[in-house]
Amino acid sequence: MKRANLTRQRLVLLAMLGGLLFSFPIVGLVDGVVLGLPAGYLYLFGVWAALILMAARLSEGGR
Amino acid sequence: MFPTAIVVLISLAYLGLLFAVARFAEQRAAAGRSIITPSLYALSLGVYCTSWTFYGSVGRATSGGLSFLTIYLGPTLMLLLTGVIVKMIRISKAQRITSIADFIGARYGKSYWLAGLATIVAVLGIVPYIALQLKAIAASLGILLADPAAGQGFWPTLAITASLAVFTIWFGTRHLDATERHEGMVAAIAFESIVKLLAFLAVGLFVTFGMFNGFGDVFSRAAALPGIERLLGLEAVKPVSWAALILLSGLAIVFLPRQFQVMVVENVDESHVRRAVWLFPLYLLLINLFVLPVALGGLVHFQGAAVNADTYVLRLPLSQGAEVLAMLVFLGGLSAATGMVIVETIALSTMVCNDLVMPGLLRSTWFSAQNRRDLSGVLLGIRRAAIGVILLLGFIYFQAAGEAHALVGIGLISFAAVAQFAPVVFGGMYWKLGTRPGAIAGLSGGFLVWLYTLLLPAFAKSGWIDPGFVQSGLFGFSWLKAQALFGLVGLDEISHCLWWSLLINAGLFAGVSLATRPDADEAAQAERFVDVFRLEARGGAPRLWRGQASPEALVALLERFLGAERAHGQLAGHAQARALSDWRRLPADAAFVQFAEAELAGAIGSASARVMVASVVEEEPLGLDEVLDILDEANQVRAHSRELELKQAELEAATGELRAANARLQELDRMKDDFVSTVTHELRTPLTSIRALSEMLYEDPKLPLADRARFLGIIVTETERLSRLINQILDMAKLESGRAEWTTSSIDVGTLVREAAASLEALFNEKGLCFSLSIAAGLPPVLADRDRLTQVLINLLSNAVKFVPQDGGHVWLSVVSVEDAVRVSVRDNGPGLTADECGVIFEKFRQGGDTMTAKPQGTGLGLPISRQIIEHFGGRLWVESSPGQGADFMFTVPIAAPDA
């Protein structure tokens, strides 16, 4: 139970971090073209993938 | 293009495949080997992605750029709050909750009204969304057949609707499950999730790498289009709309009836959530990866042509003659639409049946007339009818709306409707003071605002109703303009609706809740919801029921609604859990009544179950105060047990201390006994010889003078020894009890040592020993009692003298200064001490030498007394010695502090 709670709290923190990174004004700072792709496209998918990776490690690693 | 027959055949074959998957899953479930794995659970959540995602995302991307992603970012974040989701699952399992409406109704005292209201909100919110799926299927069919009529015609769409209804009925209501779980349906949904993902990835790869040369090519060629900047960047996005959509979709992933169904009701194991936390967001990411490239590819390819962007996914492959791919895309879209329709209508039909129809039915005269008949068939019938009616409503809405505006933004309108559940659900899960009136006020307030600011304006735009209330406000009041309520302008319609509806919803919920008092049922349910983890950890909720029940009546009730076979199965399970071999012997106690009510709740909803159980048992109603008392008692018991635990720990600690103290006391007692017996013994030895000699002198007057003198000499020595012994015992007692008198002063140790040595000179000469004295120069003064310190020195010196051999003995006395003390050492060349002896020599009445053979030479108190004295000065007395090497007794006395 204790272990599960710790994992849950870490996930909540991750959700807050995600909320921050997916919100203005931070999202609005991303601009231009990187590697021939729109920076916004790269940024959103990049942050999203990173969140998923961290969630997987936290959630499945916490058993 | 495809002949109609082929497309219909392939579609039917695909649906047949779904049947097979579902059937396989159900057979495995029936055999007790469920195929529902954590990954399958996560995939089943993919029912979130409807045809609105499959076809509509591309359309949204062509107009709003990256903002279509918000619909998937919200769920990603929401799933990270696993604590909330797991709590919802736990509550639903404990209460046999089968729908979101039931969840809300159950929380607020198993209320008909609230569950019914939630059902109405859900149905009104979702029916247009179902219409959207019908439209998507019809439209994609029309494109595939290159026959727009097929996409709009009355009969083709009715046929689609009807087959979906049959399909859904088969999936969802083949039998009445006690927990409303449909493993076959879940497996089929997960399968459909895979199909739609593969189809979309296939078309994405086809467009990006087949029609274009990779991502870079798509983006660079699209960049040449006029006005495309807006779609590629995030600058044009409105921050408020962006945040509102993330919030809205985050709420939708929990509160859409189909999501609640797969996430909570169909969950077989809480631990599956751990997988869903990341696998479902990963699914969303993958299915969205190619949305923007496909949208841009479509814009580039269909430049200037009037092609609906919602159809790019299907039209792009077709434009290249990739018919097989187009067929796959069609099946993907079909998967997305059917998955949504099946789960959503099953969820809604459960709600309609349990929370709208049953309450009326149970009060009707028809029901009374059907007394004792098995009603499980009737229940199934109601649900099947509900599925048909809901789909029919969707069909009618679709027919009425056609291409009208009312279909376009419908996904978000539905989201906003179910978002109204958020305050009462979250409030109900974490706040015990929420009451039924508060929940009804909040939910209906939010619902009305949603209706006025979002749904009715959508109707108005379609020209179904007079748009006056949108353009100039209701009754001409401009502050009542539907999409600029109270003059709030500058927001898009979704943000505007969300702001006002959630504000009024949450405000009314909290305000009215605090202004009203819960009744007994509400208070009990609040406890069971909010404290679900704590109650389970303690072995279940307190039994809040009192009355008289007959087991027969309860069993009959279960048989009526579950069917005899199923009822008996559940009863047997319950009996087994209570260690009874036969359910017929179950006592009709509170536990049995609660079991029966929970089982019924799984079948007919918690509010109806409450009413039915109440109708067959004689309940003594518990008042609010009584319920609060019981809950309080439970709290008190909890507090008491915690207190008891603490007390017990304290007691154990005290017992340990006492035991140790007792052992110490016994040891001291033993030491005292030893001391007394040793003292007595020591006193008796000289006394015996004195008495013997005195008697001889007394009885024999003719004793020769020489003998007399010798005897008297011995008597004198023995008397001296006796008095010395007594003095030392007294001294020891004084020292130990702390009653000794000390006169401390600053002393020069060198002088003191010299004086002490001088006073013993006669003794040294008598023994014929060689005495060496060395005193370091410039010794600092020490703070001590002069007489006592002399006593120690003389004791040590006379000990040394005692043990050195006659003639040839040597005693060394040295005084040196070490760190912050003066050290005095008295060394001799006597027989020395073994390591053991070094330890015990300072104990009382331990004598050096062999006490068994030789006559004792001292009292055995000298060293213990010396040690007491030195320790009193803050110094240390010890001995270093080994057998044959002499002994070196040393002590230190700390030097006086400079200011002393």
Closest CA to B827 of B894, B774, B767: B774
| pLDDT above 70: percentage of residues in chain B | 91
Specify the pLDDT at position B178. 45
Interacting residues of B24 by C-beta distance below 8 A, sequence separation 6+: B35, B187
Q: Taking a contact as any Cβ pair under 8 Å apart, which residues of chain B between 838 and 857 contact chain A?
A: none
For the record, the structure tokens of B340 come out as 């949504």
Region B360-388: mean pLDDT is 78
Least reliable range by pLDDT among B174-178, B268-272, B829-833? B174-178
Q: What mean pLDDT comes out for the span B483-508?
A: 85
Contact between chains at A36 and B275 (C-beta distance less than 8 A): no
Put simply, the answer to whether B275 touches A59 (Cβ < 8 Å) is yes
Cα distance from B277 to chain A (closest Cα, Å)?
7
Inter-chain residue contact A28 with B73, CB threshold 8 Å: no
3-state secondary structure of B777: coil
Whether the pLDDT of residue A56 is over 60: the answer is yes
Q: What is the pLDDT at residue B226?
A: 78
Shortest alpha-carbon distance between residue A28 and chain B (Å): 6
What mean pLDDT do residues B23-38 have? Answer: 84
Are B801 and B858 a contacting pair, CB within 8 Å? no
pLDDT for the residue numbered B118:
92
In one letter, which amino acid is B393? Answer: L
CB-based contact, B225 to chain A, within 8 Å: no
Q: Does A28 touch chain B (CB under 8 A)?
A: yes
How far apart, in whole angstroms, are the C-alpha atoms of residue B580 and residue B582?
6
Instruction: Please give the Cα distance from B250 to B254 (Å, whole number).
Output: 7
- Judged on CB neighbours under 10 Å (0-12, 13-18, 19+), B508 is buried
Q: Calculate helix-pair angle for B154-172, B4-30, nearest 10 degrees.
A: 10
* Percentages of chain A per state (helix, strand, coil), in multiples of 5: 75, 5, 20
ipTM of the complex: 0.94
Q: For position B847, what pLDDT does the model report?
A: 61
Distances (CA, A) of A60 to A3, B272, B273, B457, B888: 12, 10, 10, 46, 70
| pLDDT surpassing 50 at residue B853 | no
Distance CA B569, CA B571 (A): 5
Burial B752-785 (b: 16+ CB within 10 A, else e): bbeebbeebeeebeebebebeeebeeebebbbbb
Per-residue pLDDT at B164: 86
Q: What pLDDT sits at residue B593?
A: 81
Contact A48 B73 (CB under 8 A): yes
The b/e string for B686-710 (b: 16+ C-beta within 10 A; e otherwise) is beebbeebeeeeeeeeeeeeeeeee
Q: Whose CA is closest to B88, among B77, B74, B102, B75?
A: B102
Question: In the predicted model, what is the mean pLDDT of residues B882-899?
Answer: 80
Q: Is A28's CB within 8 Å of B235's CB?
A: yes
Does the CA dihedral B846-B851-B854-B859 come out positive or negative? positive
> Which residues of B fall within a CB distance of 8 Å from A33?
219
Digit-coded pLDDT (tens) for B660-703: 999 989 988 887 887 788 778 778 878 888 888 888 888 888 88
A37 CA to chain B: closest CA distance, Å? Answer: 6
A37 touches chain B (CB under 8 A): yes
Query: Tell me, what's the pLDDT at B507?
Result: 94
Count of CB atoms situated within 10 Å of the CB of B436: 24
- Extract long-range pairs of B15-19: CB within 8 Å, 24+ residues apart: B15/B163, B15/B167, B15/B338, B18/B167, B18/B188, B18/B191, B18/B192, B18/B338, B19/B170, B19/B188
| Residue B76 with chain A: CB contacts under 8 Å | 18, 48, 51-52
> Taking CB atoms and an 8 Å cutoff, what residues of chain A touch B77?
15, 18-19, 22
Out of A7, A23, A52, closest to residue B278 by CB: A52
Confidence of residue B849 (pLDDT cuts 50, 70, 90): low
* pLDDT for residue B204: 93
More confident residue, B254 or B400: B254
Please report which confidence band the pLDDT of residue B541 belongs to, taking 50, 70 and 90 as the band edges.
low
Closest partner residue to A37 (CB to CB) among B82, B219, B277 is B219
Per residue in B772-825, pLDDT (tens digit) is: 888 888 888 888 888 888 888 888 888 888 888 887 888 888 888 888 888 888
Which helix (H) or strand (E) element contains residue B549? none
Query: What is the tens place of the pLDDT at every residue in B144-194?
Result: 887 666 666 778 788 888 888 888 888 777 665 545 568 888 899 999 999
Task: Say which amino acid occupies B532.
Answer: V
Q: Check residue B228 and report its DSSP letter.
A: -
Average pLDDT estimate for B463-467 = 77
Q: Search chain B and give the residue with CA nearest A52.
A: B278
Each residue of B76-113: pLDDT tens digit? 999 999 889 999 999 888 888 888 999 998 888 888 88
B573 reaches A (C-beta below 8 A) = no
Looking at the complex, does the CB of residue A18 fall below 8 Å from at least one CB of chain B?
A: yes
**For residues B263 and B749, which has the higher predicted lDDT (pLDDT)?**
B263
Give the pLDDT of residue B287: 93
Q: Please check whether residue B88 touches A, CB under 8 A.
A: no
Query: What confidence score (pLDDT) does residue B624 get?
Result: 66
**Interface with chain B: mutation pick from A16, A21, A51, A54, highest number of B CBs within 10 Å:** A51
Q: ∠B822-B826-B827 over CA atoms, to 5°?
A: 135
A45:B77 CB<8 A: no
Contact A27 B76 (CB under 8 A): no
CA distance B133 to B394: 9
CB contact under 8 A, B281 and A40: no
Overall average pLDDT of the A2-24 stretch = 84
User: Which chain B residue shows the shortest CA-CA distance from A18?
Assistant: B77
**Positive or negative, the Cα torsion across B156, B158, B164, B167?**
negative
Q: Please give the pLDDT value at position B240.
A: 86
pLDDT for the residue numbered B1:
61
Average pLDDT score, chain A: 83
Determine whether the interchain pair A37/B215 forms a contact, defined as Cβ–Cβ distance below 8 Å: yes
Residue B53 CB-density burial (10 A; 0-12 exposed, 13-18 middle, 19+ buried): buried
* Chain B residues with CB-CB distance to A26 below 8 A: none
- A63 — contact with chain B (CB < 8 Å)? yes
The set of residues, in sequence order, having a beta carbon less than 8 Å from that of B460 and lying 6+ positions away, is B466, B467, B469, B470, B482
Q: Is B282 on the interface with A (CB under 8 A)?
A: yes
Q: Which two tokens stand for residue B87?
A: 């709590």
Helix H segments across B738-785? 749-759, 761-767
Say which of B232, B242, B277 has its CB closest to residue A59.
B277
CA distance B68 to B50: 14
CB–CB contact A23 B235 (8 Å): no
The C-alpha of A18 sits at a distance from chain B's nearest C-alpha, in angstroms, of 7
* CB-nearest partner of A30 from B215, B234, B279: B234
The pair phi, psi for residue B373, each rounded to 5°, is -80, 150
Task: Report how many Cβ contacts below 8 Å link chain A to chain B.
Answer: 107
- How far is Cα B45 from Cα B263, in angstroms, rounded to an integer? 7
User: At residue B463, what are phi and psi to the nearest 5 degrees?
Assistant: 80, 15
What is the pLDDT, as a whole number, of residue B371?
A: 63
A21 Cβ under 8 Å from any chain B Cβ: no
Q: State the amino acid at position B504 in one-letter form.
A: I
- How far CA B537 is from CA of B429, B534, B638, in Å, comes to 17, 5, 12
Mean of pLDDT over chain B:
83
